[in-house]
Structure 1
Amino acid sequence: MPSTFEFCLPTAAKTVPEGPDWFHEIKYDGYRLRLEHNGRGVRLITRNAYNWTNRFPLIMQAALRNREQQFVIDGEAVILGVDVVSDFDALHSRQHDDEVQLYAFDVLTVGGEDLRQLPLETRKTNLARVLRGRPDGIFIAPFESGAIGPDLFRAACDLRLEGIVSKRRDRPYVAGRTHEWRKIKNHSHPA
């Protein structure tokens, strides 16, 4: 398994890409995390390389209960309210760290095999396999494909969500900022 990973970062965009080559995910307002399970333990690493393993026990326990003993998942640490809208203020307050879950949207390695060069579509299939038991503390980011992107964005805005991230379904996971992932923000959202 690779010893270091750099996050893939979306590029800001004003419009939602259309067409069958795109997956579209809701953008939850939280902290970006990389979940690393190496068979012996779990680490939660932030974009700025901070180790927050002990900060979010629900995520850590879910990873330890997983049947797969070696994986690296990319996701967002979030607290969801009863309306299923992420509550960044509650997350940032640190008063609810025991409620934080991982919104998992990509898998980088499984069983020691580096999957980053595979297309996103294949990685999403592997992510579903790794999290097939849907353990409390980690949930898979739902996504839509194709022409529904603009409608999904309007629905996200109507629900007061942060926006969406659109990703090319046929591209590998690359380090750093990429035009293959595009973040379209809801301008009325406070984030």
Structure 2
Amino acid sequence: MEPELVEQPPLGDGWSHEVKFDGYRTQVVKDADGVRLFTKTGIDWTVKYRALATEAGTIEAETFIIEGEVIVTNEDGLSDFHALRSAITRRPQDLYLVAFDLLHLNGHDLRDMPLKDRREILQALIPAGGRIQFSEALPGAGDAVYHLACEAGLEGIVSKRLDGVYRSGSTMNWRKIKCFVEKEMDIIGVKRETGKPAMVLMADNGRYMG
């Protein structure tokens, strides 16, 4: 499922709000062929994620498909996308998989179950204290969760309908809301090139910003 980018979190009680982690979307598959980890585009990255694959093999289930985000954290404990690529090659032992959904378990297709039920099963499946961790829902209304996430320096939140089933592709049942900083700057010019959109040149207190 691909969350749609929106400007404001949804209202009401029928939503779960999670941290938007800045990493690589990943599916962990365990079946008769063992454990494999796949990228968003279906590429097998098990070799790159060897430590996570080994840990996934200890999860007590015969088969599963777990969906999550592979991340690496900075000294503040926040996911750091810019450090992720080098961490994969130089320090793969520092990677985490934050698991947020469960599509199959022990031969059963769970995609028609409500999100709330899928996540309850997933949470019970993930052992505490490892490099594979459950993505906890943040308590509170969407606007309050979004405000606190931005205050904490997070990338944003993902809001998901609690009664939603899992369907691949873009959907408004999952919505991502990114944090941003507003700042007024001076327009100092416009750059035009043939065949390209015009670009506004900005400055802040006389200093060129881009």
TM-score normalized with structure 2 length: 0.81
Q: Distance in 1 between matches of 2:154 and 2:180?
A: 10
Q: 1:1-191 residue pairs with structure 2 within 5 A?
A: 8-93=1-86, 94-131=89-126, 133-134=127-128, 136-144=130-138, 148-188=141-181
Moved more, 116-125 or 40-49: 40-49
By how many angstroms is 1:169 displaced? 0.2
Which consecutive segments of 4 or more residues in structure 1 shift more than 3 A? none
Specify the alignment match of 2:189 in structure 1.
Answer: none
The answer (yes or no) to whether the contact 2:19–2:138 under 8 Å persists in 1 is: no
Identical pairs, percent? 36
Moved more, 90-99 or 168-177: 90-99
By how many angstroms is 1:39 displaced? 4.5
Q: Distance in 1 between matches of 2:124 and 2:32?
A: 17
Q: Secondary structure at the match of 2:145?
A: helix
| Residue segments in structure 2 that go unaligned for 5+ positions in a row | 182-210
Q: Distance in 1 between matches of 2:8 and 2:91?
A: 35
Q: Distance in 2 between matches of 1:34 and 1:59?
A: 12
Q: Distance in 2 between matches of 1:88 and 1:69?
A: 32
| Residue segments in structure 1 that go unaligned for 5+ positions in a row | 1-7
State the superposition RMSD in angstroms.
Answer: 1.4
By how many angstroms is 1:40 displaced? 4.1
The answer (yes or no) to whether the contact 2:13–2:141 under 8 Å persists in 1 is: no
The answer (yes or no) to whether the contact 1:58–1:99 under 8 Å persists in 2 is: no
The AA in structure 2 aligned to 1:142 is E
The AA in structure 2 aligned to 1:105 is F
Q: Secondary structure at the match of 2:90?
A: coil
By how many angstroms is 1:62 displaced? 1.2
Q: Distance in 2 between matches of 1:15 and 1:111?
A: 38
The AA in structure 2 aligned to 1:48 is T
The answer (yes or no) to whether the contact 1:18–1:149 under 8 Å persists in 2 is: yes
Q: Secondary structure at the match of 1:52?
A: coil
Q: Deviations over 1:109-131 (max 9, x none)?
A: 11110000100000011101221
By how many angstroms is 1:149 displaced? 1.4
Higher relative contact order, chain-length normalized (CA < 8 Å, sep 6+): 1
By how many angstroms is 1:56 displaced? 1.3
By how many angstroms is 1:166 displaced? 0.2
The structure with the larger Rg is: 2
